[in-house]
Amino acid sequence: MKIAIASDHGGFELKEFLKSHYQREGLVLHDLGTHSSDSCDYPLIAQKMTSALLRKEFDLGVLICGTGIGISIAANRVKGIRAALLYNKEVARLAREHNNANIAVFGGRMQKPEDVIEYFDIFRQTAFEGGRHLRRINELDDMPEGE
Ligand code: RB5
């Protein structure tokens, strides 16, 4: 499974922590930026991730900003993207089983790194259930824009 990770400055520290942690576990998180703690704009970071996912360069993404909110809003503007802010273990499981989320989102200034690892491990190891949930996911992509 190919996984990409990206953050703004508010998530930079957590991004670096996760990369090192998973490298020790033998899992590469492909870093799409940002590459320093200098201030940058989360919509542009989200866009890098959503484009790479839609080009099918990666199977899953991780996005991080300070709260997890701004970067979620930005990513979810893009059709075919389902970004889920993971704040407990059950949500981490359901985001995959029911929502087929393709991006896990975290708040770098709000969440403990050890919790984030626990939630992301559940997320990446859980499969989509399909069935009635597939219909709902298709309805998401059929939603008209601007109405
Ligand atoms: C940046 O200061 C902060 O606004 C951003 O990381 C994020 O929390 C926005 O939702």
Ligand 1 atom 2: the closest Cα is on which residue? 10
Helices (H), the chain: 12-24, 42-54, 69-75, 89-97, 113-125, 132-142
Predicted local distance difference test score (pLDDT) of residue 126: 98
Query: Quick one: which atom of ligand 1 is closest to the CA of 71?
Result: 10
Predicted local distance difference test score (pLDDT) of residue 147: 65
Query: Quick one: which atom of ligand 1 is closest to the CA of 107?
Result: 8
Rounded to two decimals, what is the model's pTM? 0.97
Confidence band for 60, pLDDT divided at 50, 70 and 90: very high
Residues whose beta carbon lies within 6 Å of some atom of ligand 1: 8, 10, 42, 65-67, 69-70
Residue range 74-111, pLDDT digits in tens: 999 999 999 999 999 999 999 999 999 999 999 999 99
Please give the mean pLDDT across all residues of the chain. Answer: 97
Q: Quick check: 146 pLDDT over 80?
A: no
Confidence band for 145, pLDDT divided at 50, 70 and 90: confident
40 secondary structure, DSSP code: -
Active-site residue, 98 included: yes
Predicted local distance difference test score (pLDDT) of residue 83: 98
Ligand 1 atom 5: the closest Cα is on which residue? 66
| Ligand 1 centroid from CA 70, angstroms | 6
Predicted local distance difference test score (pLDDT) of residue 1: 96
Q: What is the distance between the alpha carbons of residues 70 and 81, in angstroms, rounded to a whole number?
A: 15
Tell me the mean pLDDT in the region 41-52.
98
Tell me the mean pLDDT in the region 49-62.
98
